[in-house]
Structure 1
Amino acid sequence: MKLFRQIKRLTAKTKAFMWEGSVQDQGNSEGLTGSLENDFHRIKQLFEGAADFSYREMKINQMNSVVILYLNGLVSIERLEIHVFHPLVTANEKLPQHVDINIDDLKGILSSAQVSQGATFREVIDQILAGGTVVLMNGSKQALFISEQSWEQRSVDEPVSEAVVLGPREGFTENIRTNGSMIRRRLKTTKLKFEYMKLGSISQTEVMITYLEDIAETSIVEEVRSRLKRIEIDAIEDSGYIVEFIEDQPFSLFPQVLQTERPDRVVGNLLEGKVGILVANSPFALIVPVTFFEMMNSPEDYYGRFIMTSFIRFIRYLFLAVALLFPAIYIAVTTFHHELLPTNLIFSVAASREKVPFPAVIEALLMEITFEALREAGLRLPRPIGSTVSIVGALVVGQAAVEAGIVSAPLVIVVATTGIASFMFPSYALTGAIRLLRFFLIFLAATLGFYGILLGIFFILVHLVQLRSFGVPYMSPVAPFHFNNLKDIFIRVPWWMISERPNETGKRNLKRLNPRNRKY
């Protein structure tokens, strides 16, 4: 056994060494030599076969030459002409021809707003791949990095997955800089911090952590930073890749990271002490930590009047129970507990099921799986016909199944009501968890009746109570119980009554408004 553990440790170290070697292959950490010909030749070899790799050789005077390197399609040629090429041509005409200049003189010649320096091949390669422009000069072991990135990108549009009637209509795009600026516009404070890192040994995807320095818990920020740095993968294509790496319990059905494409929702959570994670090429930001009740809240809840918002939240939690339990209750009643229904209703249900050849559980599974297929088909089809196909398909299939005696009419009502209820949750990830747990409860109801349903609810509640999101209890503030934080859970009290931030994430700076604010 001891030998086995030693072999296992040696294998892990070997894999780590191989991984580090593969990462280093992306660029060389050696410094530039100062020989323009050698450095330029080495970089050209690395980009051999890349048709978008472009360069231009220019003379500043008879003593100094430069090479400008960039990837066509990732830089603005127009801005490059104005801020780089034109100043160098002008310098060639004005500077003395037999005077040797250094890299700092060259930096002063360029008119670009962002010019930095680097001294290694790795920095040069990273800059070019990130859409920057690199200027190499003969006799200099330093290179100039110019930020003139420009590429096609989607404009700021209304969020698709989190539409609201009241509230802002702008959503995140795939450009991480644009997304950061939308947050900065809403929080004009020096306490708003952005931290950048790159993930993916091949993709080198830019990831940004954002938080409010005087509100967010230092331990949570450090934990987010640590979990992200531990990710070792070749490419990160979307923020969804990161979710499974940073969750406390990745095998849980319940999401422990909130995904949103709304800047206002990110800002609202930052003000409560949460941490936001933005990923390049993804319109969805991540928010951690998160609780179950935050998954049930919509951004629109904070833009409407509190009375209407409280009523909608009540309906939302009511239909949470419907989406989770309704099919299971139907199966339990029709199979084991007939006495729970009024006499006339039980006769009506029995008459409708008289021609059905299947038990209630098979009948329910057929309809639930069909409904899930119609839902998925509606999402995958082109938008103009997707909703039409899903609605018409549900009507036609349901009516035909009842007339053919395959399913009963009451079950069609149950499945349709359950499907409508599952669309009421603001979080798509939570919707998926409820849909899967519904099948779990259906099997328990078919086996043990109401006792099975109660047993299933007990297991779900136990799991939720012990679940954590970055150390924060998932069922907070109900378990553990914090009375002051209940003002924004099942109902929403007026804004002038929400004077404190949540205890779990905002205890560094609990006060969020002047206590003298009140309704007059």
Structure 2
Amino acid sequence: MRLISSSLQENEASLREQLANCSDLVIRSFTLKDESLLLLVYLDGMTKLQSVEDNLLKPLIFSGLPHGIARIQTLTEMIKHEWLPLSNVKTDESLEDLIQHILQGNLAILVDGEASAIIAGVQEFEKRGIEEPKKESTLRGAKEGFVENLRTNTSLIRRRIIHPQLKMESYTIGKYTQTGVVLAYMQGIADEKVLADVRGKLDEIDVDGVIESSYLEEWLENTSFSMFPQIMNTERPDIVAASLLEGKIALITNGTPFVLILPITFWSGLQSADDYFERFVFVVCMRAIRYLMAFIAFSLPAIYVALSTFHSEMVPVNLMLGIATARESAPFPTVIEMLLMMVIFDGLQEAGVHLPNQLGPIISIIGALIIGQAAVEAGIISTPIIIVISLTGVAAYTIPKYSATLPFRMIRYILLLISSLLGFVGFTFGIIFLLINLVMLESFGTPYMSPVAPFDGTRIKDMIIRYPFWMKNGRNKKVRS
């Protein structure tokens, strides 16, 4: 470790060498009335200097040192304890640490003849204001969402849980980005084994940079190659606060509005914040519809192909005659038609996501209408295929979490291919293998299909259906099963 020199010239030379070719670096020297030399170092655009100039530089330059300074041994101590009206002020003797503080937006003050530097926390940079989350909007409840600033996000959680048991541990991850990460949990409620597991994995992360919380997600997951996420992300502080009270853990990453929550279960992706803001009788009905739509979202194309190709006797005669009539001019087998339309639909969906907000919905709707109508009129695609794909797409949109829809989109193709080869036999085997995978999967020690497998009568009151709050048997003290 390289120490700060007592020579101001050597320190300035070292800083200019380490931070060479940095056009936003500002180094300013000042001479006081008693001929003491000061050196201010900061990055332009990341430091608020108004309070330092008004309360430190101007009085020292024009008035000199105050009387009675002999009681304090060094000028550094005097500036730190008596002249710098800031709460976040400290001294450092390491040159490497000094450079890191400067790069983080702090102000460094060095005094000639003293082998230490004053670090003043006066960061100020542009940041986005608190707004309603666009991907997780609700009809009722708070309209606040996380932003890209770490301390703003932690304060949004602190405002909802006002208790000393809410702990927030800080980590710095990324060799070059030095990204701040906060591990938040409720002491006494969160599982200590899960906490130890997460702490160990955070300490082991060795990466050049962390730009978004998804970087951490891939490092932390136990089964990275699984289609199903074992960590949930959210933009809503109320969801994070509720999860912490349930014994879960949150990871807040600087530079992103998405906070990670773990451990989770399969049912976490099918729950909406509105489920806890509306009357429970209505929520029970809506959840039943949502689960049905989730099943349709990945199984309807496979079921249609299996019925129309292998098991036409299971379809009512009049309906089967209508399907056969609609397919008279179709040049491709049913499975090819289905695959073609699924690819086109997913392509339009991706186009709608990546296009500007003003154009995305328009392009998606017009593209779907024009392509669908033109394909039917040209005899390339039969009308029932368009109906099945449309219903499948609408069903997927009923799932509240976007990340939870991604596995369903992949499973949809797998089940379709198996069903096109073996009919309902292949569909059944596909569902069985899917359930086996889900039952074997864990999220930080929590069975992914709990509280259904293994069955937990207490937790099922909130995971599958939504009981009234007064019927729940207190909080879930342990997330592990």
Q: TM-score normalised by the shorter chain: which range applies?
A: over 0.9
- Give SS of 1:384's match: coil
Q: 2:434 aligns with which of 457, 460, 476?
A: 460
The letter of the residue matching 1:106 is I
Q: 1:69 aligns with which of 38, 41, 45?
A: 41
1:234 equivalenced with 2:208 (yes/no)? yes
What's 2:176 paired with? 202
1:31 equivalenced with 2:3 (yes/no)? yes
Number of residue-to-residue matches in the alignment: 479
1:124 equivalenced with 2:98 (yes/no)? yes
- Give SS of 1:405's match: coil
Displacement of 1:88: 3.3
What's 1:214 paired with? 188
What's 2:279 paired with? 305
Once the two structures are superposed, the pairs formed by residues 98-497 of structure 1 within 5 Å of their partners are 101-108=74-81, 109-497=83-471
What's 1:53 paired with? 25
The letter of the residue matching 2:317 is T
Q: What is the RMSD computed on CA atoms of the aligned residues?
A: 1.7
Displacement of 1:85: 2.4
Displacement of 1:103: 2.3
Give 5+ residue unaligned stretches, structure 2. none
CA distance in 1, matches of 2:239, 2:69: 59
The letter of the residue matching 1:46 is Q
Whether the 8 Å contact between 1:215 and 1:506 is mirrored in structure 2 is no
Whether the 8 Å contact between 2:190 and 2:477 is mirrored in structure 1 is no
What's 1:16 paired with? none
The letter of the residue matching 1:485 is R
Deviations 1:309-354 (A, max 9, x none): 1111111100011001100000001110000101101100000011
Deviations 1:131-186 (A, max 9, x none): 11111112222211100100001110100110111111110000001000000011
Distance 1:91 1:244, change over 3 A: farther
Q: Percent of aligned positions with the same letter in both sequences?
A: 38
Displacement of 1:63: 5.4
- Give SS of 1:483's match: coil
Displacement of 1:222: 1.6
CA distance in 2, matches of 1:84, 1:339: 89
Displacement of 1:229: 1.5
Q: Which moved more, 1:277-286 or 1:421-430?
A: 421-430
Distance 1:187 1:100, change over 3 A: closer
- Give SS of 2:459's match: helix
The letter of the residue matching 2:87 is A
Deviations 1:380-409 (A, max 9, x none): 111112111111111111111111111111
1:502 equivalenced with 2:470 (yes/no)? no
Distance 1:249 1:506, change over 3 A: closer
Distance 1:506 1:443, change over 3 A: closer
Whether the 8 Å contact between 2:247 and 2:477 is mirrored in structure 1 is no
Whether the 8 Å contact between 1:64 and 1:101 is mirrored in structure 2 is no
CA distance in 2, matches of 1:79, 1:449: 74
CA distance in 1, matches of 2:114, 2:65: 22
Distance 1:48 1:316, change over 3 A: same
Give 5+ residue unaligned stretches, structure 1. 1-28, 508-520
Displacement of 1:62: 2.4
TM-score, structure 1 normalization: 0.89
The letter of the residue matching 1:396 is I
The letter of the residue matching 2:353 is L
Whether the 8 Å contact between 1:64 and 1:100 is mirrored in structure 2 is no
Distance 1:97 1:191, change over 3 A: closer
CA distance in 1, matches of 2:470, 2:68: 70
Displacement of 1:506: 7.6
- Give SS of 1:186's match: coil
The letter of the residue matching 2:172 is K
- Give SS of 2:479's match: helix
Whether the 8 Å contact between 2:52 and 2:84 is mirrored in structure 1 is no
